[in-house]
Structure 1
Amino acid sequence: MAGIFDTHTHFNDVVYKEQEIEVSEMIKDAKVNGVSHFCCVGFDIKSSKEACKYALKYPNVYAAIGIHPNDVYKFNKQDLLEIEEMAHSDKVVAIGEVGLDYFYTDQHKEIQKEFFKEQIKIAKNNDLVVMMHIRDKDESDQAYLDALEILDKLQVKKAIVHCYTRGIELARKFTKRGYLISIPGVVTFKNATKLHETVEKLSLNEMIVETDAPYLTPEPKRGKLNMSKNIAYTIEKIANIKKINKADVIEATTSNAMKIFKIS
């Protein structure tokens, strides 16, 4: 396998530094396993700056910058100005990960919505993709529906639903607007039946792939620290579900990523 685009990884996560794992080594190992392009995603000001730094340092590494919905209550308008300034940096391709997260608490919903709107405006002003973190309690779709309402109101054309794990009907609400569904390593889990159905029914043109490393390590490496090299298992699982060649999955998902990120 060759040419995979890991569209959502966190070289900037502190766990790698704590374990003395070098970014250069992770990139090297990933390339051996067929990964050719990476998007390093920020989740606050510091990590966004690091994403920009890695994008400038390493070929085929790109950056997404933004403030994660779980943490927006800790930030202010001045921090949004920093995101706006970083948006002009070379190789920044998306504002993310931004969005709405109702999974852990019902607090800060209005602050989340306000920061989501403001960061969408930054994306639109700079012709960047909106890379969305959307999560809700298992029995609820409200975060997704609230996100759709905001996306429609602000007339967002380019967006990615990061780390999608839900069913096909909800996915269709996003794909019919032209947004891409990003498939994580969760697809390799035996109990991810809704996601399996989603992958089966989605067109290859509607999806991209990601690791969300260091999180959500796919089978058979589950329980260990995730890295970009493990995306090969996600590709294999998608190919098995759709009963197609792995090369076709790679070609389509990488092409989709290159197109939406405007990478030639």
Structure 2
Amino acid sequence: MAGIFDTHTHFNDEIYKNNDIEISEIIKEANNNGVSNFCCVGFDVESSRQAVRYALKYPSVYGAVGIHPNNVNEFELSDLEEIDTLSYGQNVVAIGEIGLDYYYTPHDKDRQKTFFKKQIDIAIKNNLAVMMHIRDKDGSNQAYLDALEILKEKKPKRAIVHCYTRGYELAKKFIDLGCYLSIPGVVTFKNAKELQETVLKVSLNNILVETDAPYLTPEPNRGSINFSRYIVYTIKAIANIKQLNKNDVIEATSNNAYKVFKINH
């Protein structure tokens, strides 16, 4: 396998640093396992700065900058001026991860929505993709429905639902707006039946793959730190579900990544 694009990873996460894991080694091992490109994603101002640095340092790394919905109470709207500035960095391809999280922070929905809308505005102004984090309480779709309304209002040209794990009917609402679904290692979990059914029904033309490393480690390494090289298990799972050749899955998902990020290759 070769040519995989890990569209969402966090080289800027403290877990790697705290475990003395070198980013250059992560990239090298991923390259050896068929991963050719990476998008390092910010979640606050400092991690966004780091994402820009990695995108400058490593030719295969692209950057996304933004303030995560769980972190909006730590910042003022004026801090988005720096996100705007960072978005002009070399190889920055998206504003993210931004969005709505009613699972961990259901108490500040209005503030989340304001930050989400303002950051979509930055993406539209600077012709960048919108990379969305959307999470809700089990049994509720309200965060997703609110995100859909904001997308309809703002009309970004290119958007990604990062770490999609829900059902097909909800997925179709985002696809109908032109969004891509980014599939994480969760698809390898035995109990992820709803997501597996979604992957079966959704066209490869609408799918990206990601690790969300160092989180959401796929089987058979679930429970340990996640690395970009483990994305091969996600590719295999999608290929098995859709009864396709792994290389076809890689080609389609990577081409989708080039399109949504506007990367010439």
The answer to whether the superposition gives a TM-score over 0.5 is yes
| Cross-structure match for 2:218 | 218
- CA-to-partner distance for each residue in 1:186-237, whole Å, 9 max, x for gaps? 0000000000000000000000000000000000010110000000000000
| Cross-structure match for 2:27 | 27
Separation in structure 2 between the aligned mates of residue 73 and residue 253 of structure 1, nearest angstrom: 35
| Cross-structure match for 2:18 | 18
User: What's the % identity of the aligned pairs?
Assistant: 66
Contact 1:157/1:177 (CA < 8 Å) preserved in 2?
no
Contact 1:128/1:158 (CA < 8 Å) preserved in 2?
yes
Q: How does 1:35-184 map to 2 (within 5 A)?
A: 35-184=35-184
Structure 1: which amino acid aligns with 2:166? R
Matched residue of 2:190: which SS? coil
1:155 shift after superposition: 1.4
| Cross-structure match for 1:237 | 237
Name structure 1 gaps, 5 residues minimum: none
TM-score (norm 1): 0.99
Matched residue of 2:118: which SS? helix
Separation in structure 1 between the aligned mates of residue 227 and residue 100 of structure 2, nearest angstrom: 25
Contact 1:65/1:87 (CA < 8 Å) preserved in 2?
yes
For these two proteins, the number of residue pairs brought into alignment is 264
Separation in structure 2 between the aligned mates of residue 104 and residue 242 of structure 1, nearest angstrom: 33
Separation in structure 2 between the aligned mates of residue 233 and residue 51 of structure 1, nearest angstrom: 25
1:56 shift after superposition: 0.4
Separation in structure 2 between the aligned mates of residue 14 and residue 58 of structure 1, nearest angstrom: 19
| Cross-structure match for 2:200 | 200
1:172 shift after superposition: 0.1
Matched residue of 2:98: which SS? strand
Matched residue of 1:218: which SS? coil
1:138 shift after superposition: 1.1
TM-score (norm 2): 0.99
Matched residue of 1:263: which SS? coil
Structure 2: which amino acid aligns with 1:64? A
Which stretches of structure 1, 4 residues or longer, exceed 4 Å deviation after superposition?
Answer: none
1:157 shift after superposition: 1.8
1:77 shift after superposition: 2.1
Matched residue of 1:214: which SS? coil
Structure 1: which amino acid aligns with 2:207? M
Separation in structure 2 between the aligned mates of residue 106 and residue 86 of structure 1, nearest angstrom: 28
Q: CA RMSD in A?
A: 0.6
Contact 2:8/2:211 (CA < 8 Å) preserved in 1?
yes
Separation in structure 2 between the aligned mates of residue 191 and residue 145 of structure 1, nearest angstrom: 24
Contact 1:165/1:186 (CA < 8 Å) preserved in 2?
yes
Separation in structure 2 between the aligned mates of residue 221 and residue 105 of structure 1, nearest angstrom: 29
Separation in structure 1 between the aligned mates of residue 257 and residue 104 of structure 2, nearest angstrom: 30
Contact 1:68/1:96 (CA < 8 Å) preserved in 2?
yes
Matched residue of 1:255: which SS? helix
